[in-house]
Amino acid sequence: MSNIRVEVAAGVATITLDRPAALNAFTSPMIADFLAAIDRTDADDEVRAVVVTGAGRGFCAGADLSAGTDTFDRQVGDEVFRDGAGVVSMRLFRSRKPLIAAINGPAVGIGASLTLAMDIRLAADTAKFGFLFARRGIVPDGASSWFLPRIVGVGTAAEWMLTGRMILADEAARAGLVTGVHPADGLLPAAYAIAREIAECTAPVSVAMTRRLLWIALGEAHPMAAHRRESQALRWCGANADSKEGVGAYLEKRAPRFPLTVSRDLPAFFDMDSEPSFSL
């Protein structure tokens, strides 16, 4: 993982895009390494939350353009083509750990798209975003045409994507793309404060299930579907040790010690709505 760094401390993993000289522009090997990093954090029960950030002054400048005019030429014969950013987004969507983007500088193209499948986005006051696909003669990647309208509304998403203009951090915050804008030196502390609160105060299985419930509900036409899923999940949780520990810790005025783990104890129905088989 020469251009992706993973560090774990106090229940929080930090994944750093680490090509600062290129503003962390994404290459094909970085996609594979990023996927491996998410696999690693999912499998590690010591990791309770994940912070994703960039090295240097940029978050991610988009796809590496060193191939020149052939950068986006993806002729694959009879094979089904899947864009790399979309593969990353689908893996983030299925993450069992909450994902916090600490966007420390420009986030363009895939650099903007990959943050959309994360749960919480914070930006430095120097950050800016560009969904500039139309300015490069291509279309949105990373399933951003699905994620972005659900985050900022279809009108704002359309304006940003159809013009391809850059969006400064304050505008991103007003639109709801990010939940907070911080001075550059305060960005990671703010992200870690959220991550530590998750790590110290919540049940890991509850967090994984809640994250799935939130994302799946976005695609439902009626709240009854969410009611059914929540009822199934609540019945399962109520019969298990974490709920008993959560209530007991509250009544005894002590910190909880939740026994269930994501790697071993998620219910069988948890993945019932996982990514469907891919076809075109």
Q: What domains appear along the chain, each with residue ranges and CATH number?
A: 4-198 (3.90.226.10), 203-271 (1.10.12.10)
Q: What pTM did the predictor assign?
A: 0.92
pLDDT of 277: 44
DSSP state of 239: T
pLDDT of 71: 57
pLDDT of 219: 85
Give one DSSP letter per residue of 56-122, joined into a string: TT-SB-SB--TTGGGTT----TTSPP--HHHHHHHHHHT-SS-EEEEE-SEEETHHHHHHHTSSEEE
pLDDT of 276: 45
pLDDT of 80: 67
pLDDT profile of the chain (280 residues), mean per 10: 90 97 92 96 97 97 68 58 88 96 96 97 98 92 95 98 97 98 98 97 96 91 94 95 96 96 91 49
Q: 197: part of which helix (H) or strand (E)?
A: helix 187-201
Helix (H, G, I), strand (E, B) or coil at 124: strand
